[in-house]
């Protein structure tokens, strides 16, 4: 073979074509990729725990509100010796769970469309504050009692007024009856403005008619003597003996055809049985 056609040697591959280094590789074998950074999961876990606790709190609150009215209703009916089927609505203010933990309710509302206490029947609405759940006196309580004309008639029946019927027409009440003068029954109608004074009912005369004729109060007083004086003077009526001793009258006004009586309730009525008994009127 001639020298003109010499075979050239292959180039050294390492010299002309250097091996490229692939990131992540350290040799000719497959390299293991670097592990990814794990995301922190604790904020999500915390959020889920908060949501679960909130749902449990809501469920407990709803359960408490469902159970509490029945418990309170049973206690009130038992203490006041009311019929087992007595209608009585119970509602508590605020969020109950913290109050139950603290052992005292901020405010408790009791209402009924008709209840009979010591012979008086009417609608009642009472709000008690600071109600202890483990026994003890109330911080206080107040409410209203609404009675119709027949019940109001029974309340003032012991006055010196001739009371046969009573008509309520805000803001006054008209008492109708008859008086006997020289053996003759004379119809009398007296219009009064009801109120409360020192826990007693107070009836202040504002109009008078005798035999269907409107007359001046001074004329009646002079012509009928002591009877006329009784008709025209302000009447004070104690009804403490018709109400539980723990109730005190604080106000009275006529609303349409009903009498609305405001009462203050002694906080000790929750622990003192004597306050549930009839009160006492002073001797005449």
Q: What is the pLDDT of residues 179-192, one digit of tens each?
A: 777 778 888 888 89
> pTM of this prediction?
0.73
Q: Vertex 266, ends 106 and 114: CA angle to 5°?
A: 80
User: Of 52 and 72, which is predicted with more confidence?
Assistant: 72
**What order of strands is seen across the sheet that includes strand 104-117?**
89-92, 104-117, 120-132, 140-147, 258-265, 247-255
- List, for residues 197-252, the tens digit of each pLDDT value: 999 999 998 888 877 777 766 666 555 666 667 777 888 888 888 888 899 999 99
Bond into 72 cis (ω within 30) = no
State the Cα–Cα distance between residues 82 and 171, nearest whole angstrom.
32
Tokens of 80: 């006041």
């Amino acid at each position: 073979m001639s020298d003109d056609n010499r075979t050239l040697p292959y180039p050294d591959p390492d010299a002309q074509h250097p091996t490229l280094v692939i990131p992540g590789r350290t040799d000719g074998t497959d390299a293991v990729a670097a592990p990814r950074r794990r995301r922190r999961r604790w904020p999500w876990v915390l959020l889920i725990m908060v949501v679960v606790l909130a749902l449990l709190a809501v469920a407990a609150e709803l359960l408490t509100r469902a159970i509490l009215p029945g418990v309170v209703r049973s206690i009130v009916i038992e203490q006041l010796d009311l019929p087992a089927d007595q209608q009585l609505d119970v509602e508590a203010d605020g969020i109950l769970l913290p109050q139950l933990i603290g052992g005292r309710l901020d405010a408790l509302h009791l209402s009924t469309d008709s209840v009979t206490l010591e012979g008086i029947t009417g609608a009642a609405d009472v709000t008690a504050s600071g109600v202890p759940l483990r026994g003890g006196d109330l911080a206080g309580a107040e409410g209203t009692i609404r009675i119709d004309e027949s019940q109001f008639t029974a309340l003032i029946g012991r006055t010196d007024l001739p009371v046969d019927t009573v008509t309520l027409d805000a803001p006054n009440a008209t008492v109708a009856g008859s008086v006997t003068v020289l053996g003759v029954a004379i119809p009398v109608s007296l219009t009064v403005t009801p109120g409360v004074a020192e826990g007693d009912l107070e009836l202040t005369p504002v109009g008078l008619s005798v035999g269907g004729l409107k007359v001046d109060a001074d004329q009646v007083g002079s012509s009928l003597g002591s009877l006329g004086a009784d008709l025209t003077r302000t009447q004070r009526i104690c009804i403490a003996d018709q109400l539980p001793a723990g109730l005190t009258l604080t106000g009275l006004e006529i609303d349409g055809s009903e009498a609305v009586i405001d009462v203050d309730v002694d906080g000790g009525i929750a622990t003192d049985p004597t306050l549930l008994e009839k009160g006492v009127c002073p001797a005449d």
